[in-house]
């Protein structure tokens, strides 16, 4: 046992824990990362002891036992479920042997306890009682073997860690406990809990130290620490980050954060209020040695740019995510280029992805995915949005028609889109089913576009549904609306736009226009009626493809009026009509930069290559030799 009880040591300053066990086992013996490491406590005890020895010599004051997965459920994967007590006792004994060999009475044995590896109800089949019994078995062995402190780590489910801590308290009300959760890239747990929610729940379990481990690198965990401390300022906190986000290099998992970087963050963690610091996946004795040196150096300058001093900056810990890239560009007054893309008619999306990559290379900012255009059956658009964002890295705008949806489906679909990180929404009425593949399909709606905009901005973005029930946390949608500057009754069009702005619209997309002065006249009309229009307008640009294409749009599509001189240019071009359409599109694009805050390009017949050539007028292209 250590000379100073663990709780007393907590009062004397920051304690340095060790780093990764699995990373070291993998590095020293090239064991596969999915191997049953806990069996090594019996099968290769000298290897485990060597890792403990290196961490203690590097300056660690807590060494964690090699028992992270030594519970009956995880051990069942290697047919060792009956050896739970044996492996946990052996883990503590190995750490104790190394501490005794080195003659150290200032090092603590931390009994490592990880999640069970199975989901608890209501998200899985394991009952809370079954989970608690499994934790009692593992924790009981660690306590029996005389671990100085229990370390519950890398949990993703608050219900599960509460059962784990509860099991420990039932067995020994006085055993010191560190309880830690892990977070995803969006600073939430896998089940969506925020740092503030996690801190409050962990504090309520009665753990001596609460905190965060694993997750991403030090920068993310510093941010999470500050959010947790703001929620529960009187708690004690631990921070054990990964060495950055893992990367695959030459078939090996590599972590980018260097030991020196960890040394700097050791000071930042201490400054931010952590009483236990250390490392997790990817960290080595070198990382711990650098942290030790930093913590022990009184002359080392305290970090300035790492620790955020302004607590008010963290008021939004339970608020929506950062604004979308579209919202940021619009707020900054940047000219944005959007391109409309319909979903495929099947479940294969390779052509869609290839087209999106082409547009990305051309310098397009966003892809607008339409929903069942012309009431034709197609893949669900939010799936296409997700695929484009995931595989191409280009942010999308989801067309969201109100037609054919009741309020239940409207809200459910919006939450599904948000869960897929699709947060730009273009609200429209939608095409009537009578013109499409299924003319007898359901075609009514519970809500009109202006009211849907209000529902999104005033309800969902404030964390409640239409019935004012909580949805857990606010959404963060940016919402656009439609406007027709060339309408037969422009005054009514202006009135509808004003109504949508009052509902909370963030931007508007126009019907295709072929002369900038059409938009200019509409803006003047709106200003006379309601004052200058401050809403960002994305002007619709539709490159014409042929004489028949121009005639069809002019004569059969409501809201589109193609001037005679434009139709004549297309007619005079003959077989070169597609090229003339590109030239007209380029002229419009350049002219609209002085009128609108962006353009909304609509490819004809899926000719994304022609749209890309229109965008070339801006000199944005990243492919085929264009300037970056």
Who contacts 513 (Cβ-Cβ below 8 Å, separation ≥6)? 485, 486, 519, 539, 540, 541, 588
> In CATH, which of 3.40.50.2300, 3.20.20.70, 3.20.20.220, 3.50.50.60 is domain 336-542?
3.20.20.220
The pTM of this model reads 0.58
Beta-strand relationship, 209-214 and 149-155: unpaired
Statement: residue 16 has pLDDT above 90: yes
Classify residue 490 as exposed, middle or buried by CB count within 10 Å of its CB (0-12, 13-18, 19+).
middle
Length in residues, the chain: 628
Say if CB 581 and CB 330 are below 8 A apart.
no
Is the bond into 493 cis (omega within 30 degrees of 0)? no
Query: Would you kindly state where each structural domain of the chain is located, as residue ranges?
Result: 6-314, 336-542
Average pLDDT score over residue span 387-411: 85
Q: Specify the pLDDT at position 216.
A: 83
Nearest CA among 146, 473, 490 for reference residue 320: 473
Inter-residue contact 506 to 480 (CB < 8 Å) = yes
N- to C-terminal Cα distance for the chain? Answer: 63
Could you tell me if 143 and 211 are in contact, meaning their C-beta atoms sit under 8 angstroms apart?
A: no
Condensed to tens digits (0 to 9), the pLDDT of residues 32-63 reads 767 799 999 999 999 999 999 999 999 999 99
Nearest CA-CA partner of 478 in 400, 373, 391: 400
Architecture in CATH of 6-314: Alpha-Beta Barrel (3.20)
Q: Please report the pLDDT score of residue 246 as a whole number.
A: 65
* Token code pair at residue 86: 């044996």
Residue 206 pLDDT greater than 50, yes or no: yes
The answer to whether domain 6-314 and domain 336-542 are alike in fold is yes
CA triplet 62, 149, 285: central angle to 5 degrees?
Answer: 15
Residue 144 near residue 88, CB atoms below 8 Å: no
**Structure tokens belonging to residue 114:** 């990880």
Does 448 score more than 90 pLDDT? no
Among 240-249, 261-270, 340-349, 464-473, top mean pLDDT goes to 261-270
- Evaluate whether 141 touches 85 at the Cβ level (below 8 Å): yes
Q: Name the residue with tokens 């000298």.
A: 46
- The CA distance from 247 to 267, in Å, is 26
| DSSP code string of 108-149 | EEEEEE---SSPBTTSSSB-HHHHHHHHHHHHHHHHHTT-SE
Count helices and strands in the chain by DSSP H and E runs: 23, 18
Average the pLDDT over each of 65-69, 301-305, 585-589 and give the range with the smallest value. 301-305
Rounded CA-CA distance 73/84 in Å is: 10
Count of alpha carbons within 13 angstroms of residue 188, beta-carbon side: 14
């Amino acid at each position: 046992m250590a000379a100073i009880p663990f709780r007393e040591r907590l009062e004397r300053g920051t304690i340095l824990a060790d780093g990764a066990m699995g990373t070291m086992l993998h590095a020293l013996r090239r064991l596969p990362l999915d191997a049953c490491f806990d069996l090594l406590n019996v099968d290769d005890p000298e290897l485990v002891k060597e890792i403990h020895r290196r961490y203690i010599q590097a300056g660690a004051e807590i060494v964690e036992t090699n028992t992270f997965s030594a519970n009956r459920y995880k051990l069942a994967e290697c047919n060792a479920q009956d050896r739970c007590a044996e492996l946990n006792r052996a883990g503590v004994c190995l750490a104790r042997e190394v501490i005794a060999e080195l003659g150290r009475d200032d090092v603590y044995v931390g009994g490592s306890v990880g999640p069970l590896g199975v989901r608890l109800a209501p998200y899985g089949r394991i009952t809370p009682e079954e989970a608690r019994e499994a934790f009692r078995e593992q924790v009981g062995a660690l306590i029996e073997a005389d671990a100085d402190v229990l370390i519950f780590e890398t949990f993703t489910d608050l219900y599960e860690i509460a059962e784990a801590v509860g099991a420990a308290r039932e067995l020994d009300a006085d055993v010191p406990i560190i309880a830690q959760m892990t977070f995803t890239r969006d600073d939430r747990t896998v089940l969506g809990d925020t740092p503030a929610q996690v801190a409050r729940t962990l504090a309520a379990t009665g753990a001596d130290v609460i905190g965060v481990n694993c997750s991403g690198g030090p920068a993310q965990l510093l941010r999470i620490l500050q959010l947790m401390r703001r929620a529960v300022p009187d708690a004690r906190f631990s921070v054990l980050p990964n060495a950055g986000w893992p990367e695959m290099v030459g078939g090996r998992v590599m972590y980018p954060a260097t030991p020196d970087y960890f040394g700097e963050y050791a000071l930042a963690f201490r400054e931010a209020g952590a009483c236990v610091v250390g490392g997790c996946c990817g960290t080595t004795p070198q990382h711990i040695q650098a942290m030790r040196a930093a913590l022990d150096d009184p002359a080392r300058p305290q970090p300035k740019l790492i620790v955020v001093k302004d607590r008010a900056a963290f008021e939004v810990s339970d608020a929506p995510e950062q604004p979308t890239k579209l919202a940021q560009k619009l707020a900054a007054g940047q000219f944005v280029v959007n391109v409309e893309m319909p979903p495929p008619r099947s479940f294969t999306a390779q052509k869609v992805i290839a087209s999106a990559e082409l547009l990305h290379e051309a310098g397009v900012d966003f892809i607008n995915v339409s929903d069942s255009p012309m009431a034709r059956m197609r893949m669900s658009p939010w799936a296409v949005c997700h695929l484009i964002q995931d595989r191409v890295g280009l942010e999308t705008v989801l067309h969201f028609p109100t037609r054919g949806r009741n309020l239940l489906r409207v809200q459910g679909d919006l939450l599904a889109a948000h869960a897929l990180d699709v947060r730009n929404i273009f609200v429209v009425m939608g095409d009537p089913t009578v013109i499409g593949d299924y003319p007898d399909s359901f075609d009514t709606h519970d809500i009109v576009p202006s009211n849907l905009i209000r529902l999104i901005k005033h309800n969902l973005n404030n964390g409640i549904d239409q019935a004012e029930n909580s949805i857990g946390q606010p959404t963060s949608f940016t919402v656009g609306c439609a406007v027709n500057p060339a309408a037969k009754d422009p005054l009514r069009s202006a009135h509808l736009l004003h109504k949508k702005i009052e509902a909370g619209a963030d931007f508007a997309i126009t019907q295709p226009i072929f002369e900038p002065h059409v938009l200019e006249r509409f803006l003047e009309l709106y200003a006379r009626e309601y004052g200058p229009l401050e809403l960002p307008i994305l002007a619709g640009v539709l490159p014409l493809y042929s004489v028949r294409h121009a005639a069809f749009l002019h004569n059969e599509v409501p809201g589109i009026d193609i001037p005679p001189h434009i139709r004549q240019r297309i007619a005079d071009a003959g077989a070169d009509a597609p090229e003339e359409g590109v030239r007209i599109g380029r002229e419009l694009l350049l002219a609209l930069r002085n009128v609108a805050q962006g353009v909304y390009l609509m490819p004809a017949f899926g000719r994304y290559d022609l749209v890309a050539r229109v965008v070339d007028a801006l000199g944005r292209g990243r492919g085929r030799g264009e300037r970056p």
